[in-house]
Amino acid sequence: MFLNFNTAKYASMWNGKKDLLGMNDLSKEEIEGVIRYSSALEPLSGKGSKLGICRGEILISAFFEPSTRTVTSFAAAMHTLGGDVQTFLESGSSIEKGETKEDTIRTLEQYGDALVIRDSDPGSVARYASLVKVPVINAGDGINEHPTQALYDMYTIWKQFGRLTNLRIAVVGGLKYYRPSNSLVMGLGKFEGNKIFGICPPGLSLSKQYSNGCYEEMQINMTHLNEVLEKIKPDVVYVTRLKKEYMPPNEDTKNYFYVVDNKTMAVLPQNCIVMHALPRVWEINTEIDSDPRAIMFKQARHSLQVRMAVLALFLGHEDELKKL
Amino acid sequence: MFLNFNTAKYASMWNGKKDLLGMNDLSKEEIEGVIRYSSALEPLSGKGSKLGICRGEILISAFFEPSTRTVTSFAAAMHTLGGDVQTFLESGSSIEKGETKEDTIRTLEQYGDALVIRDSDPGSVARYASLVKVPVINAGDGINEHPTQALYDMYTIWKQFGRLTNLRIAVVGGLKYYRPSNSLVMGLGKFEGNKIFGICPPGLSLSKQYSNGCYEEMQINMTHLNEVLEKIKPDVVYVTRLKKEYMPPNEDTKNYFYVVDNKTMAVLPQNCIVMHALPRVWEINTEIDSDPRAIMFKQARHSLQVRMAVLALFLGHEDELKKL
Amino acid sequence: MFLNFNTAKYASMWNGKKDLLGMNDLSKEEIEGVIRYSSALEPLSGKGSKLGICRGEILISAFFEPSTRTVTSFAAAMHTLGGDVQTFLESGSSIEKGETKEDTIRTLEQYGDALVIRDSDPGSVARYASLVKVPVINAGDGINEHPTQALYDMYTIWKQFGRLTNLRIAVVGGLKYYRPSNSLVMGLGKFEGNKIFGICPPGLSLSKQYSNGCYEEMQINMTHLNEVLEKIKPDVVYVTRLKKEYMPPNEDTKNYFYVVDNKTMAVLPQNCIVMHALPRVWEINTEIDSDPRAIMFKQARHSLQVRMAVLALFLGHEDELKKL
């Protein structure tokens, strides 16, 4: 008597994976696949491009934390793939009537073909993903991970250097509370010969669970940042924001100050690029924006191609990507 | 000298009706029509479906109260019909500059082909509809009605039982302030042989104007809910939320508490389904979610097909629905 | 080694112009072009119309101030042109994390093919436009300008009178803080034989920089508004809102009160139209809404065609408009 409701709706998964929750969901080969497909999509993601790959599919972005880049670039990615987009923000929703986030997610599942979710609680997005049959992309779960950020960071590095191996990467700042650096260290750790230097003030170490063999931490007085960078001679300086929203409210952040400015640029190698996931507050001085090595906004642009690839893959369209 | 502006724009109405404001706008036969079309649309509303029925038409959702399901499912319905969607929320709008809601609605009419409106004031949506030429769908007007909710509730019941007649339905909870139960009682009252039991605490009766011949009210001490349900042997238990947002701020809600949990499920017939318009707060315990008789989220899914049917009909596309 | 990122993306501009920031960006002939194309688009902008002119292009609306009409009509215009739309509102964005508006705009540039921007700071939109390669349309920068408003006001006047020359226009109210009247005076000043009367209370004069040879100001006690209008015999009465949001918080607005009501209508010529950019608060009494000379909502409707024309032109599609 009881009818079946859509139980076979999401038979198609990418290599048997339903969700992208963290970088350990992807093998080295799968990361290379994302980058290869992103590269194929890049010339098709400009002005006037509209693909039919996701036609008739609806992406729902559920953001329980603020966002500019992530929500907009996922929407632009889905629109360019030919799909539709709906954005759920907590304000104005039934959360205000007392609904749990779990019920909200289970409801949104009914109307979307994939969910992109951000939440301040580490591990929450994995919990939400376990409740629903549609693919879930983690767009940031508190101080844990932000895998699509790391994927487009890696795509940006690959575009600059033509490789993801044998690179020297300095990750600078308040690592303890910063999810993009967690995901990036994990992702780069899958490739040979990389050396990642975590440069942070004492107290803001990378959490152990995200570390790996290519990671070396240097806890320093951040006033000496330029000297340290000069010694390291990195290919990439990846600057992070001090995430005050995750820090204890009364924590004294005076000793955590660091800035990449023209003096820093002067000591960096000629081919070194400066990256930042944005938003920045004070940690990159705008005076360096005109330096061609400061590629933060080009990096942001790459989120478009990479999120197109991720959405297409997790919505079961790898065959169509192969034909590009 | 004065030009005519779009006066003939909305010649097409569904059976001479411009708006869907309440269940008395629809005859029994028209409700059956909505259900028949919803059923035809259901296989066409899944992953990758995109119909051309509303191509080039714009739905504007104007919500003066919070919403998760309604705003999202109307948008998904319109996108699947091939149309576009714009959502108007009070926050960030010219309401903040002192504009009346009436002027806002008359403005939105200029840019949309249909309006979906929610407001906390009973009767307000009918008032707005009288100001504009485009079809208006009431998405909830305070403690009055929510007709598309009742239509997908009825579609869900029809899917389970293959009929809308000769059913025993228990509507449980704070009926006085709950608009979906008003609309549901009115809708089911149009079909033969139904028996609706309103089970509520004293003081939270269904308002007289929504009642009809098949409705019988049982005001009880809600701690005895399970015993009463065991006696009634319903086909459907329709649980409602206590709408605190409409209750006097100091009203003591202690005696209004009720919950459907595993003990309730144990006394319900094997074929009985438990429904809820969602969001729920405490009135359905999550422990019953794994019971196949608890179909709240499947019910939510049905809003998609039913709202597709309603939008297509009131936008004048019955001929295209007939061809499905 | 460093790759080029989209530097040639926006080769196409309209007559060498990238942005529409104010009315002095347009010659008389270009204004006539906007009006001619708007007129060609009008029959194609109704129910069920969907053009392919902007297919695959994404409009991003970034609003740092509230809006109902502007954000909705730009979205409807872009959807009707076949493009996609994303709306950025400050609330829920990375502005809350300390990002500057400049960085936000530079980020949004990465995902959109054109930006529509509103900000309370005069000149800010020009500053944002200088930071990005995509076309920027000023949707209101504080007390400075709102050029697309003036363009659809002029389109409305042209629709009524069949010309934009030799007209008598009374602009009434708190001109000092009102951007649409600045843009309108500048636009009408480009056409021959017009006479614009600025009728305002002492202290709320039109700022000098927006004035021109056809503008004459009459500072009056606003209780005598009807007598003055009776003498002027205008073709158009353009009523403005007192923009309290831009006035000093303690300014006494008692002497600034003015209202256009049935008594005003009685002294106006038979062919005179009453316009308002909306929202209105108290300056137009709703009792005149049924008078066919009060065309505020028809005026709002015209924003659709005019913004379609502006978007198509600044996105480089004049050739496709010529074929309409």
Q: Do B86 and C75 touch (CB under 8 A)?
A: yes
DSSP codes joined into one string, A7-37:
TTTT---BTTB--B-SGGGS-HHHHHHHHHH
Rounded to the nearest angstrom, the gap between the alpha carbon of residue C291 and the centroid of all alpha carbons in its chain is 24
* Nearest residue to B146 via CA among B184, B105, B198, B113: B184
The answer on pLDDT for A7 being more than 50 is no
Q: Judge whether A9 lies within some domain.
A: no
Kindly state whether residues A141 and A151 are assigned to the same domain.
no
Query: Which residues of chain C are under the pLDDT cut of 50?
Result: 1-9, 11
A224 is catalytic: no
Q: Do C303 and B110 touch (CB under 8 A)?
A: yes
Give A4 to chain B, closest Cα distance, Å: 10
Q: Report how far residue C76's alpha carbon sits from residue C85's, in angstroms, rounded to the nearest whole number.
A: 9
Burial class of B219 by CB neighbour count within 10 A (0 to 12, 13 to 18, 19+): middle
CA angle B50–B56–B61, rounded 5-degree value: 85
Kindly state whether residues C278 and C156 are assigned to the same domain.
yes
Q: Do C73 and B113 touch (CB under 8 A)?
A: no
Q: Is A120 on the interface with C (CB under 8 A)?
A: no
Token look-up 């006085």 returns B176
Q: Which residue of B has its CA nearest to C84?
A: B84
pLDDT in tens, A185-195: 999 999 999 99
Q: Do A94 and B278 touch (CB under 8 A)?
A: yes
Q: Do A97 and B300 touch (CB under 8 A)?
A: no
Burial class of B172 by CB neighbour count within 10 A (0 to 12, 13 to 18, 19+): buried
Name the residue facing C93 among A67, A160, A300 (closest C-beta). Answer: A67
* Confidence (pLDDT) at C12: 60
Q: Is A212 on the interface with B (CB under 8 A)?
A: no
Q: Report how far residue C304's alpha carbon sits from residue C213's, in angstroms, rounded to the nearest whole number.
A: 31
Kindly state whether residues A156 and A131 are assigned to the same domain.
no
Counting as contact any 3 or more CB pairs under 8 A, the partners of B are A, C
Kindly state whether residues A52 and A124 are assigned to the same domain.
yes
Mean pLDDT for the stretch of residues A79-92? 92
Mean pLDDT for the stretch of residues A33-40? 98
Q: Judge whether C220 lies within some domain.
A: yes
Q: Which CATH number do you get for residue B180?
A: 3.40.50.1370
Kindly state whether residues B308 and B218 are assigned to the same domain.
no
Q: Judge whether B211 lies within some domain.
A: yes
Q: Do B56 and C47 touch (CB under 8 A)?
A: yes
Kindly state whether residues A140 and A251 are assigned to the same domain.
no
Q: Report how far residue A68's alpha carbon sits from residue C103's, in angstroms, rounded to the nearest whole number.
A: 10
User: Is the backbone of residue A98 left (phi > 0), alpha (psi -120 to 50) or beta?
Assistant: left
Please give the sequence-ordered ranges of beta strands (E in DSSP) within chain A, or none if there are none: 58-63, 84-89, 114-119, 136-141, 168-172, 195-200, 215-219, 236-239, 273-276
Q: Judge whether A4 lies within some domain.
A: no
Kindly state whether residues C192 and C243 are assigned to the same domain.
yes
Give A306 to chain B, closest Cα distance, Å: 21
* Nearest residue to A300 via CA among A136, A72, A140, A21: A72
Q: Is C159 on the interface with B (CB under 8 A)?
A: yes
Q: Which residue of A has its CA nearest to C315?
A: A47
Could you give the percent of chain A with pLDDT greater than 90?
A: 85
Q: What are phi and psi of C159, to 5 degrees?
A: -65, -35
Contacts of B104 in chain C (CB under 8 A): 68, 279
Q: Do B86 and C80 touch (CB under 8 A)?
A: no
Kindly state whether residues A228 and A153 are assigned to the same domain.
yes
Q: Would the pTM count as exceeding 0.90?
A: yes
Kindly state whether residues A119 and A207 are assigned to the same domain.
no
Q: Judge whether C11 lies within some domain.
A: no
Q: Do A108 and B68 touch (CB under 8 A)?
A: yes
B70 is catalytic: yes
Q: Report how far residue A223's alpha carbon sits from residue A220's, in angstroms, rounded to the nearest whole number.
A: 8
Q: Is A100 on the interface with C (CB under 8 A)?
A: no
Q: Do B96 and C66 touch (CB under 8 A)?
A: yes
B264 is catalytic: no
The answer on pLDDT for A215 being more than 60 is yes
Q: Structure tokens of B320?
A: 């295209």
Q: Judge whether A3 lies within some domain.
A: no
Strand partners for C63: C89, C118
Query: Which residues of chain B are under the pLDDT cut of 70?
Result: 1-12
The answer on pLDDT for A11 being more than 80 is no
* Confidence (pLDDT) at C94: 85
* Confidence (pLDDT) at C9: 44
Q: Structure tokens of C311?
A: 């978007």
DSSP codes joined into one string, C96-138:
GGT--HHHHHHHHTTT-SEEEEEESSTTHHHHHHHH-SS-EEE
**Count of the separate structural domains present in chain A:** 2
Q: Do A245 and C57 touch (CB under 8 A)?
A: no
Q: What are phi and psi of A313, to 5 degrees?
A: -65, -50
Kindly state whether residues A115 and A202 are assigned to the same domain.
no
Q: Which residue of A has its CA nearest to B241?
A: A97
Strand partners for A85: A59
Give the side-chain half-sphere CA count within 13 A for B17: 20
Domain span at C61: 23-146+302-319
* Nearest residue to C303 via CA among B107, B3, B7: B107
The answer on pLDDT for A8 being more than 90 is no
Q: Judge whether A14 lies within some domain.
A: no
Q: Is A110 on the interface with B (CB under 8 A)?
A: yes
User: Is the backbone of residue A166 left (phi > 0), alpha (psi -120 to 50) or beta?
Assistant: left
Contacts of residue C82, defined as CB under 8 A and 6 or more positions apart, other chains included, come to C50, C51, C52, C53, C54, C55
Kindly state whether residues A190 and A288 are assigned to the same domain.
yes
B294 SS3 class: strand
* Confidence (pLDDT) at A109: 96
Q: Are β-strands C168-172 and C236-239 bridged in parallel, bridged antiparallel, or unpaired?
A: parallel
User: Is the backbone of residue C99 left (phi > 0), alpha (psi -120 to 50) or beta?
Assistant: beta
What is the pLDDT confidence band of residue A255, given thresholds at 50, 70 and 90? confident
Name the residue facing C104 among A68, A159, A286 (closest C-beta). Answer: A68
Would you say B186 and B23 are in contact if contact means Cβ atoms under 8 Å apart?
A: yes
Q: Is B130 on the interface with C (CB under 8 A)?
A: no
Q: Which residue of C has its CA nearest to B92?
A: C66
Contacts of C69 in chain B (CB under 8 A): 94, 107
Size of interface A-C (CB pairs under 8 A): 96
Q: Is B54 on the interface with A (CB under 8 A)?
A: no
Would you say A301 and C125 are in contact if contact means Cβ atoms under 8 Å apart?
A: no
DSSP codes joined into one string, C217-268:
EEE--GGGHHHHHHHH--SEEEE----GGGS-TT---GGG---B-HHHHHHS
Task: Cis check for the bond before A279: say yes or no (omega within 30 of 0).
Answer: yes
Q: Are β-strands C195-200 and C168-172 bridged in parallel, bridged antiparallel, or unpaired?
A: parallel
Q: Judge whether B219 lies within some domain.
A: yes
Kindly state whether residues A277 and A157 are assigned to the same domain.
yes
Counting as contact any 3 or more CB pairs under 8 A, the partners of A are B, C
Contacts of residue A49, defined as CB under 8 A and 6 or more positions apart, other chains included, come to A80, C56
